[in-house]
Structure 1
């Protein structure tokens, strides 16, 4: 967890250990009450700094990164209520959505997918999401 003396009481800041979080001063996720907002997350391996090759491999690693953030927040992917997916090309759509379908089987959160120019041409997908802890239907 990041140390932040400016954080409002009742906010829990979650870090993945990504160098980008430290450089640009943001949290992987912020927990307020039972709500969790997870920042845009990619398929980087935060321990090694390596990015898997290809949309399918990146999507699989990305969902692992999202799950890790949610576990640190006290939840899991099953608590997800809203997902926003940004893909670099329509060619990545099927690989990303197959990984999405596996990650959210039985959860079915609200979801939007858009094509966007991502900050690194090697990145095929980035996802941010919102979750509500312990609010499963």
Structure 2
């Protein structure tokens, strides 16, 4: 059985994706940027964008019946690799004890104000 989770982001409907898909005990969370979806504002600071993205991911995991502790894989995508170290304190606060497999990639993102996009895979607790 497959269950779709949405945050209500206008991008989800416009582009045609779900924030998360729950399938066969797994939760796949789409690439998530630093928007505050309540106000559709984007902070300028990359660490704040990282914090917002992780909060959005945590909410999607919660709705799926999982938590950040269930994350087994995380991908960080940044247009500018020089921004990555500013995110380390934020990612360490969330994943320091969990320590999922992780990759950081550099690539262009959809909008110029986007400085980080984060994607995770989690396993539902048994």
Q: What is the TM-score of this pair, normalised by structure 2?
A: 0.95
1:127 CA drift (Å):
0.8
In structure 2, the partner of 1:133 is: 124
In structure 1, the partner of 2:12 is: 21
Gaps of 5+ in 2: none
Higher helix residue share: 2
Over residues 12-65 of structure 1, what are the superposed CA-to-partner deviations in whole Å (9 max), with x where a residue is unaligned? 000011011111121000001210000000010111111111101101111101
How many residues align structurally? 126
Are 1:54 and 2:52 counterparts?
no
Secondary structure at the aligned position of 2:30 is classed as strand
Residue correspondence of structure 1 range 1-137 to structure 2 within 5 A:
10-134=1-125
Runs of 4 or more off by more than 2 Å in structure 1?
A: none
Partners of 2:76 and 2:88 lie apart in 1 by 9
Gaps of 5+ in 1: 1-9
Q: Choose between structure 1 and 2 for higher RCO, CA contacts under 8 A separated by at least 6 residues.
A: 2
